[in-house]
Amino acid sequence: MDIRTIATQPFNDQKPGTSGLRQTVPTFQKPNYLENFIQSIFDSQDNYQGKRLVLGGDGRYYNRTAIQTILKMAAANGVGRVLVGQGGILSTPAASCLIRKYQAFGGIILSASHNPGGPEGDFGVKFNTANGSPAPAEVTETIFAKSKAIQEYQILDADDVNIDQLGEYQLGEMTVEVVDPVADYADLMASIFDFDAIRKLLASGFSMVMDSLHAVTGPYAKEILENRLNAPAGTVRNSEPLEDFGGGHPDPNLVYARELVETMYGDNPPDFGAASDGDGDRNMILGRHFFVTPSDSLAILAANADLVPAYAKGITGVARSMPTSQAVDRVAKQLGIDCYETPTGWKFFGNLLDAGRVTLCGEESFGTGSNHVREKDGLWAILFWLNIIAKRGQSVEEIVKEHWQTYGRTYYSRHDYEGVDKSSATKLMDNLRSGLSDLPGKQFRGYEVTLADDFSYTDPIDGTTAEKQGIRIVFKDGSRIVFRLSGTGTHGATLRAYLERYEPNQDQQNQNPQTALADLIQIADEIAQIKTFTGRDEPSVIT
């Protein structure tokens, strides 16, 4: 076995964000760039030699090349066995499933989630720990520290492994096991949901369409929906994962999933529409001429969890990211269970799930999940909705509107300003922070501010603290405006403004959200001076 030690120098831009390290493909293609980060991951771990590692990605450009490099580095660093998805394919929730099922010490997931792909697109590397969850802050900080001091990396001088053929291969002293990327995950879904009820629903004339956006969920959706649940062939659109996602933007929202939206808002639409993203951890739910906000979706899943076999005995608690609407809080209160408010980033849910404090959790950015894995899970959420519809015998719109009648409606919207100059976005946030203490007691368009702070979170399980997690402005009637800079993009900065207003009056629950939130939209610009700092007259994306 010929293990080579390659001299290298650190890069100064390898700090992982909430979802690992994301950069453009050309950046990852720089000599030693990928290798430095992978070696830093191995160097951050203890006692992994001889153990299992899970490896795979969403099929985007550079995925296959990176996998061969990582396999040879894993062999050189003493990993015992690597489970790699056939063809290099492995959705993020499926990777978490495999880590947990086969007791791996961790997993390396190659994805930039909902970011565009292709030779000039984005690429990403994320490390998940032994519980299947994204690495917590102390691990990512160690990886970053190692990346800043790295002087060499280890790699095996060997031929590439045939990752397209199922089976076991030797790479030096390490075993590479090429596995079916779908089977274990599909079996897990069958153990959670009432597949018989969903089959009957799909055989009853109920129509649906699932758009995989030429991303990773295509093979998973076809196997589960068309093969196991007998949905008609063609139910799953854009099902072949492509390196550039067919030139599209694999983000399941009303802007980027335009084809699906046009279908669901067109003449004679299907009963149910859904989409997922690049790596399969996000979801969008639509009924006929009807969009379900992710915040409402989380609340509705919690309120109807007893209809799903895996949760029929009750859920222990729920958690949401701070910018996510408070709709699920009202469900938790009625159920008599705890509701936790965490920073954005799925890793913050991991400790709560491991401790049994919560069963369901979600973020407003189209991500929901449960204790079945330690990642958000797009197909899981779609199957959850189908399970609820099968049991209740109602349309998506009927289910949502009945929920509003019971719990009140939370008008909610997120305004994204993408590709903003980073220095301008930072100045905007700094300016906001400097004026927070002056806001309580002030009135804007009839709304009185009662709280203005920069959200911080102390983990109730391990006591760690995360600060500067988003600026909250809360008004006397419970309405909120939240401002954050997103860490998921690679070009400029993305400023996000979240707007929320509670409406208990059933007669006032059918407004367009942008109309219902019009005053708060104006207040957000007035307080943050969005136009002044960004030069933008309107958001890039509204959801």
Q: Three-state secondary structure along 59-115?
A: CCCCHHHHHHHHHHHHHHCCCCEEEEEEEEECCHHHHHHHHHHCCCCEEEEECCCCC
Residue 18 confidence (pLDDT): 74
Sheet of strand 360-363: strand arrangement: 338-342, 317-321, 360-363, 367-370
Structure tokens given for 5: 């030690």
CATH architecture of 409-542: 2-Layer Sandwich (3.30)
Q: How far is CA 387 from CA 201, 233, 288, 383, in A?
A: 9, 20, 18, 6
* Phi, psi (degrees; rounded to nearest 5) at 517: -105, 10
Query: Which residues make Cβ contacts (< 8 Å) with residue 448, sequence separation at least 6?
Result: 441, 442, 475, 476
- Delimit the CATH 3.40.120.10 region(s) of the chain: 3-181, 185-407
Tell me the one-letter amino acid at 151. Answer: Q
Alpha carbon of residue 504 to chain centroid? 30
- Expressed in angstroms, the distance from the first to the final Cα of the chain is 53
Question: To which residue do tokens 């059933």 refer?
Answer: 506
- As given in the structure block, the two tokens for residue 292 are 């379900």
Given a contact cutoff of 8 angstroms between Cβ atoms, the answer to whether 98 and 107 are in contact is yes
Residue 497, φ and ψ in degrees, nearest 5 = -115, 125
Please tell me the distance from the alpha carbon of residue 278 to that of residue 59, in angstroms, as a whole number.
9
Structure tokens given for 225: 């929906």
- Residue whose structure tokens are 């018989």: 196
Q: Within the chain, which residue ranges are assigned CATH 3.30.310.50? A: 409-542
**Predicted TM-score of the model (pTM):** 0.94
How many Å apart are CA 312 and CA 303, to the nearest integer? Answer: 11
Contact 92, 100 (CB under 8 A): no
- Nearest Cα neighbor of 485 from 426, 539, 424 is 426
Half-sphere exposure of 487 (CA within 13 A, CB side): 13
Hey, what CATH class is 3-181 in?
alpha beta
For the chain, how many residues are written? Answer: 543
**Buried/exposed 207-238: b ≥16 CB within 10 Å, e otherwise:** bbbbbbbbbbbbbbbbbbbbebbebeeebbbb
Structure tokens at 350: 């991991």
Structure tokens at 527: 């307080």
pLDDT averaged over consecutive 10-residue blocks of the chain (543 residues)?
94 90 97 98 96 97 98 98 98 98 98 92 96 93 97 97 97 97 98 98 97 97 98 97 94 92 97 96 97 96 98 97 97 98 91 96 95 97 98 98 97 93 94 96 96 96 92 96 79 90 94 95 95 91 86
User: What architecture is the 185-407 domain classified under in CATH?
Assistant: 3-Layer(aba) Sandwich (3.40)
Give the residue carrying structure tokens 């399970």.
387
> How many C-beta neighbours within 10 Å does residue 461 have?
12
CB 368 within 8 A of CB 82: no
**Per-residue tokens: 171:** 């790479």
Separation CA 512–CA 523 (nearest Å)? 18
- Report pLDDT for 346: 87
The single-letter DSSP state of residue 247 is: G
Q: Is the dihedral of CA 319, 100, 284, 242 positive or negative?
A: positive
Q: What is the pLDDT of residue 488?
A: 56
Residue 211 in tokens: 């758009």
The pLDDT of residue 1 is 65
Is-contact 345 18, C-beta < 8 A?
Answer: yes
| pLDDT value of residue 4 | 97
Contact 378, 495 (CB under 8 A): no
- Please name which of 128, 140, 78, 88 lies closest in space to residue 104, comparing C-alpha atoms: 128
User: Which active-site residues does the annotation give?
Assistant: 113
SS3 assignment for 255-301:
CCCHHHHHHHCCCCCCCEEEEECCCCCCEEEEECCEEECHHHHHHHH
Q: Please name the helix (run of DSSP H) or strand (run of DSSP E) that holds residue 187, with its range, or none.
A: helix 183-192
Q: Report helix, strand or coil for 226.
A: helix
Query: 362, 237, 242, 361: which is closest to 293 by C-alpha?
Result: 362
